[in-house]
Amino acid sequence: MQKRICYIEISAPSGIKQIKNIALKGSVSRRMGSVAAEAKVSVANLAKDDIEYLSTYMSSYVEPDKRKQIAIYAGYQDSGYGLIFRGDIIQAVPEGVKDIWLNIDAKTNYFNRQNLITYSVTSPVTTKQMAQNVANQLGVSLSWKSKSQKIIDSINFVGAKAKLIDELNKYGDFVAFLDNDVLKVVDKDEDAPAFQNSQSETSAGNNSDGSVKLINLSSGLIGVPQATEYGAKFKVLLDPTLNPSDWVKLESEKFPAINDYYQIYSLKYDFSSREKNFYCEIEGKNYKRNKK
Q: How far apart are CA 232 and CA 283, in angstroms?
A: 6
State pLDDT tens for residues 166-209.
999 999 899 999 999 999 999 987 666 554 444 445 544 445 45
Instruction: Please give the helix or strand (H or E) that residue 135 lies within, else none.
Output: helix 127-138
Cβ–Cβ < 8 Å for 145, 184: yes
Q: Report the SS3 class of residue 171.
A: helix
Instruction: Please give the helix or strand (H or E) that residue 167 lies within, else none.
Output: helix 164-168
**Residue 275: its pLDDT value, please?**
84
Given its phi and psi angles, is residue 139 left (phi above 0), alpha (psi -120 to 50 degrees) or beta? left
Identify the burial level of 281 via C-beta atoms within 10 angstroms of its C-beta, where 0-12 means exposed, 13-18 middle and 19 or more buried.
Answer: middle
Cβ–Cβ < 8 Å for 70, 106: yes
Q: How many residues would you count in the chain? A: 292
**Residue 34: its pLDDT value, please?**
85
Confidence band of 59 (pLDDT split at 50, 70, 90): confident
Provide, rounded to the nearest whole percent, the portion of the chain with pLDDT above 90.
61
Query: Angle at Cα 42 formed by Cα 267 and Cα 283, nearest 5°?
Result: 10
Query: 15-24, 59-68, 194-203, 278-287: which has the minimum mean pLDDT?
Result: 194-203
**Residue 201: its pLDDT value, please?**
55
**pLDDT score of 290 more than 70:** no
Query: 10-24, 120-134, 172-186: which has the minimum mean pLDDT?
Result: 10-24
**Residue 72: its pLDDT value, please?**
97
The structural domains of the chain, ordered by start, are 4-112 (2.40.30), 123-187 (3.55.50.10), 194-290 (2.40.30)
**Residue 253: its pLDDT value, please?**
94
Q: How far apart are CA 85 and CA 83, in angstroms?
A: 6
SS3 content of the chain, % helix, strand, coil (to 5): 15, 45, 35
Query: 28-32, 41-45, 274-278, 287-291: which has the minimum mean pLDDT?
Result: 287-291
Quick count: other Cβ atoms within 10 Å of Cβ 240?
Answer: 20
